Each structure stands twice: as C-alpha cells, then as structure tokens.
Structure 1
Amino acid sequence: MGNSNFNENTRVQVPAALHLCKLGYTYLDNITAYDTKTNILIDVFLNAVKRLNPSLSSQEVSLLFSKIVNVANNDDLGREFYQMLSSNSGIKLIDFDNPENNDWHVTTEFTCENEDTEDNFRPDITCFINGMPLAFIEVKKPNNHEGILAERERINTRMSKTCFRRFFNVTQLMIFSNNQEYDNESRVPIQGAFYCSSAKGKAFFNVFREENKTFVTNYPYQEITDDDEYKVLKHRNCVVIKNLKEYQTNKDVNTPTNRIITSMLSKERFLFLLRYGIAYVERKVELEDGTQGTTLQKHIMRYQQMFASYAIRRTLNNGIKSGIIWHTQGSGKTALAYYSVRSLTDFFARKNIVAKFYFIVDRIDLMEQATDEFAARGLIVHNAKSREELMKDIASRSITQNNEGKLEIMVVNIQKFKEDKAKVQVDDSYSTNLQRIFFIDEAHRGYNPKGSFLANLLEADKNAVKIALTGTPLLKEERESWRVFGDYIHTYYYDKSIADGYTCKLMREPVETIYKEKIEDILDKLAGSVKVKKSDIDRNKIIEDESYLNALLDYVISDFRRFRREQNDNSVGAMIVCKTNPQAREMFRLWQERFHNAEKIWQHKEEQIGMAAEPMTLPSGYRPLTASLILHDEGDKLERKEYIEGFKKLQEVDVLIVNKMLLTGFDAPRLKKLYLGRSLDGHDLLQALTRVNRPYHDFKYGYVVDFVNIKENFDATNDRYLRELNRTSDGTGSGQSNIANDVMVTKEEVEAKIRQVKSVL
C-alpha cells in the first residue's frame, strides 16, 4: 500500500530537508523576496549583513548587495565572490566564529532560472546562510538507473552554460546522493553520497567518510515540532506519508544521505569548509598556438584533509607541538599544508599570536614543485637563496607584509645546508606572540635527527611547531619517523585512497615465461664465459652486458607497444628502474641506437620472444619511442629538469630510464607502467610502486612489470606498515588484514574475478 506513495522526493528529499531542520536550519515554504539572478534572499541578506556590520549604513549594505550580484557574473568560478565571503577582515558576510549569529535556512525545489531563456533547473534542496544559497543537494532514490553517474553528467552540462554562471559562482558546495552505501570496487561513482564544488570542465565527485565515530549519532539534533514537519510535508504535497513505516525509517540520522548532511552541513563543519576548505588553483599552461595562458580550477577539501586539519588543531590545543601526518602518496599533502596555513593563521590569531610558515624539502625539484603548488593557490612564496637569507628570516620577528594581504610561506631546500654544523640561535625570550610552523615534507627520507642542518634548525626554535608529512614513515629501529618527529597526528593509508578514487590499485605483471627462459639462458652463457660458479660472479657486470640488455629491451619495447594498443592510449608513459648507473647508461645508449632506424626496429621480429603471432608492418603515423636518462651524475640540473618536464607535460618523452632518481616525490599522472629491475624493500619499495598510482583518464590500475619478484617483499612491507597503522594513537587505522589485496593485484586474480562475475551473470 505504502509503495505507491513513495518516490525519490518522499524517500530521500523530504527526510533530508527535515534532517537539516534538526541541524538548526529553518524551512522556507514561501519565498517571494529574492534576487532572480543569484537566488539570494534579499531581506534576509540585508538584515544579516547589517547585524554583522553595525557601522554600515543601509545604503552601504544595498551597494554591497549590488556588488555581489555583479561579481557573481564573473567568469572566474566565483573567486571574487568567495574572497568576499571568506574574508576575515573588512565587511563580514558570515560570522565564522559564532555559528548562531548567522541565519540558516533550507528549502526544496527552488528554481534557478535564466531570465533570457526558458532554461532553468531546480536543485532538490537549497541551503542558505544569511540569505546566500551556498549549498545544494541533489537526491535520487536507491538503485536508480545509472546511479550517480547521470547526476554527474547533468551537473557538468549545467555548469558549462553561461546562463547559469551566477548560481554556480555563489554555490560553494554540492552534494549528490542516491542514499546507498559506497561501492568501493568502482572507479566511477555509481552509488553513494558524493560532494564537489563548481568546475569549468568536469566536476570531481569526492567521497565523504566520517572519521569521528560518534559524530552523527551523538550530534545535538534539535527536536522538530509537528507543525514544522507538517509545513515540509504540505509544501512537498505528501502529508499522506507521515505515519507510514518506510517514511519513519528514511528519517533515521544514519541513512547515507542524512550522514553526509550532518558531516558536511552541520553549522560548525559547514563554516569550517567555507572558511578554510576551498582553494582556487591557477596554473600557467601552453596553449595550442604556442602562447602562454592560464587555467583556473576550484578545489574543495577532501575529507581526510579536513579531519587532518581538525587533528592538527586538536594536537596543538593539547599542548603537543610536533607529530606526523601519514597520508599515502597522491592524497594531497601539499594541498593539506596550504589549507593548514589558512586554518592555523586564524587558530593562532585567536590567541593573539602571529604564525610564520616554512615548508622544508630535501631536493631542488621538490622545492620548485612545492613553490609552484603554493603560488598556484594564491600564497606569496619565498625561497631562501642562501643560508644567510634563511637564518635572517628565521631569526627575524617580523612577518613580511605584502600589499595584497595574502598569506605567505617560505619554501626551503634543506639539502644545501646538509653539512652545516653552525648553530642558529633565535631569541624569543622577550615575547611569545610569534609562532614558527615547520612543515617537513617527505619525512620518510631519513632526515638525520643528529648533527644535520634540520636538527640545528629545529633546535634553534624549540618552541616551533613541527608537522612532518609522509606517505611511508620510516619503521627501522632508531630511525623510526615517530622517534624523530613525534607520534601520528592523522593517518590515511593506500586502501582508503584507492577506495576513494584518489589513487589507483597496482597490477603486478610477471615477466612472460618464454622471455624468462631466454634471459636465464643469456645469464648462463655470460656466467660460463668467465668460467666461474654463477654465485661468484659480479652480477652487476652481467646485467650491464649488452646482450643481456638487448634481450631486456626486446621485452620492454614490445610490451610497452602492446600496452598502449590494448589501452588505446598513446599518451601514457613508462619508467624503467635499473639496478646500477652503468646499466642505466648502457640501456639508454642501446635505446638510442635502436630507434635511430624506426622502420627497422618496428619490423624487429617480436614473435621471437612470444609477444606477437604475426610480423608487424610500419603503420601510418608511426614514430619511434623516445627515452630520457635521469641519473644524479648525468647532465646538469637544468637538463634533467627539461627532460622531466618533457615527460610530465608535453608527452615528448615516452620512457624514463632511472636508477635511484624520481622514485620518490615524482608526480606524473601519465606514468602508468613501471618496469622494475631492482629489488627494493620497505618504504623505498612502496614509494617506487606508487609512482604509477595517480588517476589518469579511465585507468583503474597502475601497472608494474616485475623482473625481480617483489611479491614477498611487498607483502612483508605491507604487513609492517599495517601493524604500525593499527598501533597509531588517532584510531583511524584501517584494521584490515587483507590490505595487500586492496593495494596490489595480479592479472590472474583479475581474470579469475571476471570469470566468476560472468558465471554469476
């Protein structure tokens, strides 16, 4: 009987609107005075702004309103409006410190209409703060056709229309839910509750997982009166469902939709996200005509960044001034540092303390990368050109002021000070109103706790806050990261980042049997030629031999060609990890030699090593594969930088040949195939493997061709990290025993799973 009364509105929309009322929002069922260009509720806005800024006259408040309507039409993803909204000085549009000093409203089916055409859309639920429609929610009933995918396509279409620009420039947060639990196996959001901010291209749908176990159930919800409930039901024309059992079930605070609403739209959380959780990222790009242009993106804080931000504040409030953020590679640690600069500036300002920020790296390329990332997000970035410049800045009590009122950070490369034994002294004894904050990047890289410049630096200001960032903390005795930097402030491991779609699973590919036999045969011959037992041979000399490397190249080239064909994507790149520098140099020489004659190479008989059944002919548009050699003692820094940029951006380089370089901190999403020719262990192994785990196009995996049989090392390493994760003090450890399967799979396992699914179907 009840089913005929239920649809997506009554199942999800009405319970969600009522849930917002429980969070302290007031339901509006009759909106008349609003600005049709932006959907701002005019009277509510004018009254709130006047209340928050008593010195403003009514005329000045009206002028401010006109200005907002104007800037909402900018082609800037709402950047100018957001700067006004989140500003901590000048005119206040929101009281971020006192949630109850703002007006909170919610309504349903509030039309966003374009005055010039008939085009319009109606978000299922719109949330207002001080009359400004800053969030909306789109809901679908469970098991709807295409899941959330159709919703994503729809929102991308709407955002691309200039006639709706004003609405999306004002809206800061969008939530989409079909009231189901997440399907962690899918790279594409099919079911669950997702959130995003506005975009010029495609919006990225973020997963939200509440980490505070009791936050949703123990939230101090307000009681809803019968009159309030009747108002919502009557407005949605469904009073008839009030006493039905399914409706009562859908009102539960623990439904997927209601959970994300409490997690993101409860007053304190929503204000935190609005104040600190949005970043405009502007990058320089090369346009098709060869000139320089810029791209602008709007990012919203990922849930692990939000909880890490809260954890940092909690740690500082408890009087602890150092610790580790353990977030897997690719999960946005530099962005977290940016959000933290904003969050901690206010945190200390409330205590009448001025915060001064430093970001410490241990390689020049990482210094440049971090500098670019912070500058793209709008920070003023300084680099210390010399030891004296850095010492002067650290000893100085002044905060460099720029005319634009932008926040600042100094990015420092510790490497150049490695041998420095001189002590730095900072005299802060006469005042406590300055707080230095050091972010130590890639903290797994064995910053020596004794006798290094880092030790001197941290000793110089014992009052400094030290936040170490790493995806793989060191676990070896006496050098364990937590001994150097303190306990874990927050953790976020691979299994979560894979389930959330921020990184890809890894697929381990064994070397084909026929090739293995060939390589063993070559090794035997090489061993025999020096007439000693195989175990006594200098193995490095063998693997640097031309005949061995030619066989290796046969395999890599043929396999990489096949990989691109199978994936139907010629933009993907590869990396070959060699065992020694001489091996890498010889491989590069042979590579160059081979591709000197493209046609000859293409017609090389691939079938000899079992990679193809028929001879190949040169296709139209064929070009030789290009490689770059990246070694610390090969070429100068500028040359290496050019090669790396060529690989990252321009796709001029197909393959990187390396030994120890670029195995940590190197971020190139198009790198999707790793040929691992050197045995690695511990954090070195995880760091190397995760070079191929960044999302790229529709790839579900990063691929690792395993020449050295890493499975045992990988399982042991993962086990060590899992044990460490489960002893962390913050309680966010995964607690899973099969975590290795969540991170890396084999081709056979995937094929078996496909067969299993087919048989079920």
Structure 2
Amino acid sequence: MGNTSEDKIVEQPAINWLSDGEGYQYIHGKELTPEKGERETFADVILKERFLKAIRTLNPTIPDAALKEVYKRIISLSNISIEEANYNFHRLLINGIPIEYRDKEGNIKADIVKLIDFNNINNNSFLISNQFVVKEENKDGVRFDLILFINGLPIALFEFKNPANSSIKSAYKQIQNYKELAPQIFYYNEILVISNLLKTKIGSITANYERFSKWRGINDKYDYEEKTTPSLEVLIKGLFNRKRLLEYIQDFIVYEIDKKQIIKKIAMYHQFYDVRKAVNRTLKAINSKDKRIGTFWHTQGSGKSLSMLFYTRKIIKLPELNNPTILILTDRNDLDDQIYKTFIKTELGTYGKKAESIEDLRDKLNIKSGDIIFTTIQKFQLTKDEKGNNNKDNIFPKISDRNNIIVIADEAHRSQYKKLAQNIRGALPNAMFIGFTGTPIELEDKSTTNTFGDYAGIYTIKDATEDGAIVPIYYEARFSELHLSNEYLDLDFENITKELENSKEENIKRRFSAVETLITTPSRMEKIAKDIITHFNGKELNTKAMVVCISRNAAVEMYNYMKKIKDCPEIAVVMSGNKSHDPKKFWEHIRTKHELEELAERFKNPNDPLKIVIVVDMWLTGFDVPVVDRMYIDKPMKNHNLLQAVARVNRVYPNKAGGWIIDYIGITDDLKKSLDRYSGKVVKETMLPLNEALKLMKDKYDIARLYLNKIDYSNWKSLSNTELAKLIQMAYYKITEDDKKEKGILRNYLKLVSELTKVHALVSPHPEAMKIRDDLEFFQLVAKNLRNYTYTKNNEISDSLEDALIELVNRSIQAKDVINIFGLKDTKSISIFDPKFLKYLNNIKVKDVQVKVLEKLLNDQVKVLLKRNRIKRKSFQEKIEEAIRKYNNRLITVEQVMEQLMNIAEELKYSSDNAKKLGLTDEEEVFYDALIYLYSNSNLNDDEMEIIIEIVREITEKIKKNLSTDWFRYESSKARVRASIKRILRKYDIKHKILKQKNMDELTDIIFKQAIELYRDYPLTS
C-alpha cells in the first residue's frame, strides 16, 4: 500500500487509535522479518520469541523444554482444513494446552499451559503490525494491512480500502483470496475486520459477506455521535479495547459442528452488550429478594438463540453462582428440539440434557450437577397422583430450594408462562428468571415484565434492518374477494388449531369447521394454487417459499391442487400426524422425526430442487431458512403468532432485497389492528406495503432512463445482431462520455442498475415489474458491457453489479450474443492464437466490435504477461495505442488495424518465447529487456549477446542480495542497489567495452527503475 491515501486515511488512523488510544505496542511489518530475527521464515505467522516469552510469564513453573513443545504443537495444524485448524486452536486458546513433562527428580507431571491470561490483561502482550508479509516458497506472497497479535499469536486481521474509490466488499473478497495464498494465518484468527474507515464490519473465517456485521457501540450500544465518529474508530474503541477483546474471545465466539461442517459464529454488537447487561443483572439478583433478571427482546432473525447461548456460557462460569443449573423452557416440543439442537452443536452440548417427562424433570432438578436442562413448560404440571382430594388447591410441590437455578424462558410473551408461572415459583422458590422473546411486548401486557422483570436488552426490527442483520418485509393482499370477513378473523385461531384435537367444546369445533369449509372451497383453493405457482415461477431469484394453511386437511388439499399444475416445482407438506388415526390421504405426508429432519435439510439447501413447503403450525417459529423470500398465507393469524410466522422471510441471503408476504385471507387488515397493541414504531417497522417497494422500483427506473435519454431502445429485442451491437455501443459511449464531463456518472449508473435489479427481483412477477422488464434487461446489458470493457482501478464497480446480476434472466438470443462479445472477463486464460478465439472473432459481424475486442484482449495480456516489465510493457502499449489512434482518425482501415494488432500479438508471443530460448528467468528477462532496449538500433554479435546475458545474470543476483523489506522507501537501501548496478556495468565496460558510448548514468537509471518495479513488493515477489 505504501504512501497512498489508503495508508493515510484508513491504516494510520487505525494504528493511532489502537496504539495511542488502547495501549497496543506498534511495530511496522518490516521489523518483524527473518532478517530482524522475529521469524525464521516469511511463511511463519506466529512471532516465536514473543510467544515463548509470553507463555513463560504465564506458566512460570513449567520447564522451558515443555513450553517449546507447546510451540511445536501450536504450529502443527497444517494438515487439516482452515476451519478445523481454527476450531482446534480456539479450544486450546480458551482451555489451555494439557502437557506432561518430567521434573528435576524425573517424575512425570501433568499440567495445563495457558496461552492467554483472560483475567489480567496486563499479563499479556498486545501488538499491532502493519504491512506484515507472509510468503510461502514458490507462492505469491501477501502483505497484510494490519495484524493484531496477542502473545505473538495473530488473533485479528484488518483489511482496509480507500473510501474514495473502494467498498468494503472488495476487502472481503481479498481476504478470501488470502486464504489460498497464506492459509496458515487463518488457523489462529479470531476476528476479521474489513473497513474503508466510513464503513466497517467484522466477521469470522466461515462467514459469507452477508454475515459480516457492523459494530455500533463503545462502552454500550449507540453511545457515540454517529455523524462525527468514523465506524472504524467505534469498532476499535468498542471491541478492541483490550479488556473487552479478551472477554469477547473467551465468551462470544462459538462453533457449530453439524454433519462434519464447521461454522464459526461471532457475536454482533447487540448480543455482546446486552448479554453483558443480563449477566450483571444476574449477579445482582443472586442476593436480592427480587429474582427477576429481566426481559430480553431481540427481534426475530437477529440471533436471539445465539444470545441465549452466550448468556448461558457466561453464567455457568460465574463463581458467585457456584456451578449453577440452567433450566431452558419452551412451550412447544418443536421449539424445545430447535433450541436443544442449537446448544448441542456447540461445546455447551456436553452440559445439555433433555427432560423427557414430569418425573424426569424433577429428578434432574434435584441433582446439584450444574447441567443445562431443556424442557417444555407443560412438564410443570401436577401428576395424576398429586391431583385429587388431598390437594384441593392444586398446590405444586417444591422441587428444589437452591438459589443457583436460573430459568430461561424462550418466547416469554406466551400466555402459558403466565398461567404456569405460579407452578414454577412453587417448584423453584429461590430460582432466578429471565425471559427471551423475539417479538415486541404488547403495550397493555404488564404480565410479561411482571414475571421476568423489565427490559434487559432491546434490539428492534428497525435496528436489525439498518444493521443488515435482517431484510425488510413487504406485504401484498391478493384476491380481496376471497378474504374472510371479520367475524371469522376475530376467532382465536392460534389456540383453536392447537386445542382442536382434544377439545370437548362442540362450539369450537363447529366454528372452526365453518371457517375451514369456506377456505377449502374447491374453486377458491384451485384459484389460489394456480396463483401461487404462477407467482413463484415468475420470480427472478433462486429462492424458496412457504405456504401457510389453516389445517392439515387444507394443506393436503392445497398440495393436491398445486401438483396438478403443469409447471409446479417440487413441493412438500410439513405436518404432524399418526397413520393409525389419520385419514389415508394424510399418510404420504406423515413423516418420522428423522424424515422431517432430512426434509428440513433439503429445504434449507439452496441447490436442492425442493422449492415450496406447505405448513400449518410446524416450521413457523424458530425455523431459520435464509433462502426463503416469500410466504403465501391462507390462514387466519394474529398477534405474536403472525409476527413470528412472517419473520421466516426476513433472514439475510445473497441478493435478497427483502421478504414478501402474500395474503390470501385478509390478515393485512387484522395485522394493523393487532399491531395497535404495540408501539406505533413497531407498527411501521414490522411490514411495509408492497406499494413502497413498487415506488422504490419506479423511482430507480425513472432515474436509469435519464442516463440513456435520446437513445431509443424501445424495440431492442427485435433488432438484428448488428443493429443491437450498434445500439449498445451508442449507450456505452453516451455514459462514458458523460462520465468524462462529470466524474461519477458511470459508477452511479452501475450502482443504480444493481439496486434496480435487486428491487425488481423482489417484486417480480408483479405486473408493474413485468412492464419494465425489457428495459431493465437492456440497462443490464449496457451495465455489463461497461463493467467488462471499462478499464478502472476500482474493482467495486464490477463487484456490486456482479452480485446483482447473478440472477439476470436474458430472454433474447440476440442479446446473449452481445453479452458474449463484451463478456471477456478472464482474459488471462484466453490465447489470442487459439483457433476457437479467432473463429469467434471472425463471427463478430460488426467490425468496430472486432477491433475493440482484440484491443481489450491485447491490452489485458500485455498487463498480465509484462506486469513488472516496465520497458517492454510501455513499448507494447504505445504500439497498440498508435494503431488504434490511426484507426480512430480513419488513417487506416478495419482490415489494416486488425492486421497491425495481430502483428503486435505475434511480437508479444515471440518476445516471451525468445527469453525462454535464451535460458533467462522471468526476473532476468526484465533486465535483459532494459539493456536490449538501449541497443535496439545496434547489431550485436553472438559474443556480445553472451556478455549481455552474463551482465543480466550478475545484476539480478547482486540486486537480490541487497534487498530488504520496503527497501525502496529508504535512501540508503536504494543507494546500495543503485551502486551495485553501476559497479557491474563499469566492470564489464572496462573489460569488454560493451557500452559503446552509452551513458552510464542513463543505463543505471533504467535498470534501477526496473528493479523498483520488479521488487517493490519484496519479499512477496522474491
């Protein structure tokens, strides 16, 4: 990066905030090299001597030989995947390394070696280093912008970009490339940071870009002035405060291991700060008469279950709680399973136990073992023996009076908790209580906070949407003539459908049956089934959908109607049942627990052909499927059940601009009434009318049209290939010319098309979206050609548009030809002399386009092949520019310019082949070209050529011996290299008179400039 604006604007402020503000030692990467003794080779990423010094301090009683064996163990992680190595290292970092050694008397001793002191930050060494080089033999190297070391271990990695012309997406992509070039540094990484100062995100080594998250807090959430504080400063002062960083590493990083896949999850800021608050409240509640810890509201999709896990992990280690028992309560078996699985996939799984019955729960609570017990609230009921004459008041028996039991209630707003709260209090009189919920508490609902306490943490829908933790939800009411009237919608269906099987109330059955009959009318269901398939097949993203039905019977009927439709994708019904009791038509849809788990895995897999599931109650809460972007609702729902159901579509997924709720029954009106029970803020944040998305699409479409005004593209799909190529070329030149007059036009156009593509994909196949589809495809064609053809230092232009165009549907064969013409992205692998390419070139009917394709290809190959050969690169570029200049000025014909460009290509190929024939390495070729350049008008005989080659080899060898990291920055280093070049040239001139009147200083200067270009990134390019 060197002395660039990126260095000044991003890297240096980061160093200052970390060193001056947070107390980190700072050493430039050039000081942490093998020459300086910090590492044995550039491939080493652990600072060996600093590491050994640190663990000697932390483990003073352990012999030095044993500690050196610890170092060997730490560095021997290379024969497994990055993810597995990272997981293994993290466990060693947190738990220490068990070792055995012999004491002075020869006795074998066992001990644990600590790598970090998490309790006393001053016992650790905190170091940051910029421009830190890692390079393996025979591989390109990497120069990392900033590495944070704790006790010599590379714990955090920062990748920076210039805010003036780069987005942090390119920083993320660069890190992914680094995994190939320097995988070993990721074995020890805990946190990845990408930033361009103004935008900053953190993520783990397994996270995709969408899972990288903002950090919005220093000592607490939102405790800074956003307008005046750069996001990178907030992150450093917040998370990278040394004390908070150690706490974060120890308690807020978790690994999920599922089917041999390792997923590393790190806490987002709202989880970190609010869990800490909840822990502090827990400490206060231990000796307080008030055992309520609080109500923890983090909106659905923002990682509530993970917050529960982080909270549990912290409190089980509190010495004040003396090995506590954690009781995690849900009100449904499927929720109990989901939370249990979340825990069991992590290291906390060793503590997890499920209570299988009322008796089993009581037995487990009586054991003072410090377990994590998972159960449903229904198990806090009296047994048959406890009911009757001897217990007229139905008093629940006391199970344990320990004060180190903590009850965690999931979805704490549910009425069941209020009903059975007294039983739990009676069973566990000294227990502490905390309630977690993903939906807001109703304004008039005081019982939830009365049961669990006031808010211990709040993270709203608005917060999560702004942070990109979830996507916004849009809704649309379709077929209003099929909606139910209010008299039916007022029924409490969430309870009716659950209690129907066991209900003795004929009135409930009768009222439900009447509604179900209305909903399952054949003509109505057939119409809705057709609309769902048409709507789903009209979308542009490769996403999935859920259909919600009122009953199992309705779900089966919907399945049957949908299967009759010609273009129906693969669908499935998800419901509970029992073949011994249920009708035969249900049987094919009744699955075992294992089969349901397999079906869930298939539905979660974006590449699996299962596209739509039809559900009744299952999978509507706690079921996380990011690939789902729309839900078709044909079931009366309201209040929390409705909010939980619609949240299935708010998960983040690549290119997903939002979720879409399609209402066939009339919940939209009921939703507005239901949400009146919450704050007005919640009403606005929960779901947005589809009209807002349509308006957004129209606004962006209108702006896009302005970029191409005066260009008639209305009938572009009916044009011939030649006419279409000319039309796209006109659009291309209009935008590039406008960009010359007003910088930023091109970039803004590409960004606009990216945004329009996403919002169009969201609302497709709405009629308004269909109206502009052809125009959008033309905008995309122009954008794609701009992106592929334009030379720019800014990779973000192509990055942002490339993501948005993943799902581009090109309906025109003619358009496809043009896309291919300009779509030569990876020209490194294309040979100009490949017969397939020449045939392709000849097939291009528009000669102008032929010239441009060949020009682009030649320039690209010159850049690739002659990347560090300054003299030859400049020579070839000048030849290409001269040919194109003559052609543009009409001094030569198309045929003549094509012939000249092909001749240049031949010359490029010959120059590369000639160097190989002379036995020169790539590095020697660079200096050979510099010398030959000066003799271009001279005829050298064979002996003189031999001398030139001899000079080149000696110069190459001598220069490399004088190199050190960042050598070109220091006058003394540059002078040493320059002197060595001049000394060799003078020696050969005296001996062979080879210079022939050439200026010694000029020749030295040319070779020296080549050396700087070739070895600027030493040792990366050595």
**TM-score above 0.5:** yes
Q: Is the 8 A contact 1:550 1:590 kept in 2?
A: no
Unaligned runs of 5+ in 1: 181-191, 219-251, 285-293, 400-407, 522-536, 603-617, 724-736
Rate the CA distance shift 1:130–1:488 in 2: closer, same or farther, 3 A.
same
Q: Which of residues 423, 427, 439 is equivalent to 2:396? A: 423
Higher helix share: 2
1:446 match: 415
Q: Secondary structure at the match of 1:176?
A: strand
* Residue matched to 1:684: 641
Structure 1 position 204, deviation (Å):
2.7
- Give the AA of the match of 1:757: K
The 1:67/1:625 distance shift into structure 2, 3 A limit, reads closer
CA RMSD of the aligned region, Å?
A: 3.4
Distance 1:40 1:8 in 2: 26
1:207 has 2:214 as partner: yes
SS in 1 for 2:132: coil
Deviation at 1:364, TM superposition (A): 1.6
The one-character-per-residue Cα deviations of 1:573-630 (angstroms, maximum 9, x if unpaired) are 322232xx3xx514623642663xx4xx32xxxxxxxxxxxxxxx7xxx756444455
Instruction: Please state how far the C-alpha of 1:474 moved relative to its aligned partner.
Output: 4.5
2:277 pairs with 1:316: no
Percent of aligned pairs with the same amino acid: 24
- Report the residue type matching 1:564 in the other structure: N
Q: Which residue of 2 aligns with 1:750?
A: 693
SS of equivalent to 1:318 = helix
**Residue 374 (structure 2) aligns with:** 411
Q: Which amino acid aligns with 1:389?
A: D
Q: Which amino acid aligns with 1:468?
A: G
Question: Is the Cα contact below 8 Å between 2:571 and 2:613 reproduced in 1?
Answer: no
Which residue of 587, 591, 601 maps to 1:639?
A: 591
* CA displacement at 1:166 relative to structure 2: 1.7
1:695-737 CA-to-partner distances (Å, cap 9, x unmatched) read 34432222111234444543454454336xxxxxxxxxxxxx5
**Aligned position for 1:605:** none
Q: 1:119 pairs with 130, 136, 140, which one?
A: 140
Which one of 166, 170, 186 corresponds to residue 168 of structure 1? Answer: 186
Distance in 1 (CA, whole Å) between partners of 2:96 and 2:228 is 33
| 8 Å CA contact retained: 2:525, 2:558 | no
Q: Distance in 1 between matches of 2:562 and 2:674?
A: 38
**Where does residue 227 of structure 1 map in the other structure?**
none
CA 427–677 in structure 1, closer or farther in 2 if over 3 Å, else same = closer
Residue equivalent to 2:163: 142
* Distance in 2 of aligned mates of 1:384 and 1:394: 10
Task: Determine the C-alpha separation between the residues in 1 that align with 2:590 and 2:514.
Answer: 31
Name the SS for the 1:108 alignment partner: strand
Q: CA deviation at 1:552?
A: 3.4
Q: Which moved more, 1:541-550 or 1:9-18?
A: 541-550
**1:465 CA drift (Å):** 2.5
Q: What amino acid maps onto 1:199 in structure 2?
A: T
Q: Answer yes or no: is the 8 Å Cα contact 2:401–2:430 preserved in 1.
A: no
Cα offsets for 1:251-278 (capped at 9, x unmatched): x993221111111111011101110111
Please say if residues 47 and 153 of structure 2, whose CA atoms lie closer than 8 Å, have aligned partners that are also in contact. yes
1:11 is aligned to 9
In the TM superposition, what whole-angstrom CA distance separates every residue of 1:199-244 from its partner, at most 9, and x where no partner exists?
A: 28768311211174699779xxxxxxxxxxxxxxxxxxxxxxxxxx
Q: 1:623 to 1:744 in 2, by over 3 A?
A: closer
Paired letter, 2:132: F
SS of alignment partner, residue 369 of structure 1:
helix
Kindly provide the amino acid, as one letter, of the partner of residue 275 in structure 2.
Answer: S
- The equivalent residue for 1:157 is 177
Partners of 2:546 and 2:615 within 8 A in 1: no
The TM-score with structure 2 as length reference comes to: 0.57
Q: Post-superposition shift, 1:59?
A: 1.2
Counterpart contact for 1:564–1:572, Cα < 8 Å: no
Amino acid at match of 2:699: Q
Matched with 1:131 is 152
Residue of structure 1 in register with 2:24 after alignment: 25
**Distance of aligned partners of 1:683 and 1:568 in 2 relative to their CA distance in 1, 3 Å threshold:** closer
Q: Which residue of 1 aligns with 2:55?
A: 49
Q: Are residue 650 (structure 1) and residue 602 (structure 2) matched?
A: yes
Q: Offset at 1:631?
A: 7.5
User: What is the distance in 2 between the residues matched to 1:141 and 1:309?
Assistant: 34
Separation in 2 of the partners of 1:643 and 1:561?
Answer: 29
Show the counterpart of 1:328.
299
Higher mean C-alpha displacement, 75-84 vs 477-486 = 477-486
| Alpha-carbon separation, structure 2, partners of 1:258 and 1:123 | 19
Q: How many residues align?
A: 627
1:96: which partner in 2? Answer: 118
Q: 1:744 to 1:392 in 2, by over 3 A?
A: same
Residues 330 and 502 of structure 1 are in contact (CA less than 8 Å); yes or no, is this contact kept in structure 2? yes
Q: Aligned pair in 2 of structure 1 residues 72, 715: CA closer, same or farther (>3 Å)? A: farther
Q: Secondary structure at the match of 2:652?
A: coil
Q: 1:66 is paired with a residue of what secondary structure?
A: helix
User: What is the distance in 2 between the residues matched to 1:519 and 1:424?
Assistant: 49
Could you tell me how far apart the structure 2 residues matched to 1:673 and 1:760 are?
Answer: 28
Aligned 8 A contact 1:323 1:468 in 2 = yes
The CA deviation at 1:644 is 4.6
Measured at CA, do residues 722 and 155 of structure 1 come closer, stay the same or move farther in structure 2, by a change above 3 Å?
Answer: farther
Q: Is the 8 A contact 2:548 2:615 kept in 1?
A: yes
Partners of 1:563 and 1:709 lie apart in 2 by 20
Tell whether 2:241 aligns with 1:266: yes
1:456/1:577 CA distance change after superposition, 3 Å: same
* 1:428-507 correspondence runs (5 A): 435-450=404-419, 452=420, 455-475=422-442, 477=444, 480-507=447-474
Shift of 1:492: 0.8
Cα deviation for residue 280 of structure 1 reads: 1.2
Deviation at 1:642, TM superposition (A): 5.9
Q: Are 1:387 and 2:350 counterparts?
A: no
Counterpart check, 1:34 vs 2:39: yes
Residue 561 of structure 1: how far off its partner (Å): 3.5
Is the contact between residue 19 and residue 253 of structure 1 (CA under 8 Å) also seen in structure 2?
no
Distance change >3 Å, CA 43–CA 334, structure 1 → 2:
same
Structure 1 pair 414–563 and aligned structure 2 pair: CA distance change class (3 A):
same
For 1:625 and 1:372, locate their aligned partners in 2 and report how far apart those are by CA, in whole Å.
26
What is the Cα deviation at residue 563 of structure 1? 2.3
Conserved 8 A contact 2:526-2:561: no
- What's the CA shift for 1:168? 0.2
C-alpha displacement of 1:310? 0.9
Cα contact 1:572–1:672 (8 A) shared by 2: yes
What's the offset of the Cα at 1:389? 2.2
> Could you tell me which residue of structure 1 aligns to residue 312 of structure 2?
341
Equivalent position of 1:606 in the other structure:
none
Is contact 1:216-1:254 (8 Å) kept?
Answer: no
Once residues 711 and 483 of structure 1 are traced to their aligned partners in structure 2, the CA distance between those partners, rounded to angstroms, is 31
Specify the alignment match of 1:60 in structure 2: 66
Q: Distance in 1 between matches of 2:684 and 2:244?
A: 34
Distance 1:638 1:415 in 2: 25
Contact kept, 8 Å, 1:139 with 1:176, in 2: the verdict is yes
Q: Which amino acid aligns with 2:369?
A: S
User: Where does residue 566 of structure 1 map in the other structure?
Assistant: 539
Contact 1:198 1:298 survives alignment (8 Å): yes
SS at match of 2:216: coil
Q: Which amino acid in the other structure matches residue 154 of structure 2? A: P
Letter in 2 for 1:439: I
Q: Please say if 1:699 is aligned against 2:656.
A: yes
Provide, for residues 171-203 of structure 1, a one-character-per-residue CA deviation record: whole Å limited to 9, x for no partner.
1111111122xxxxxxxxxxx100011128768
Unaligned regions of 5+ residues in structure 2, if any?
A: 98-111, 384-393, 486-509, 604-608, 705-1022
Structure 1 residues 550 and 194, CA gap change in structure 2 (3 angstroms):
same
* 2:132 corresponds to: 110
Alpha-carbon distance in 2 for matches of 1:683, 1:518: 24
1:340 counterpart SS class: helix
| SS across alignment from 1:354 | coil
3-state DSSP class of the match of 1:721?
coil
The residue aligned with 1:87 is 95
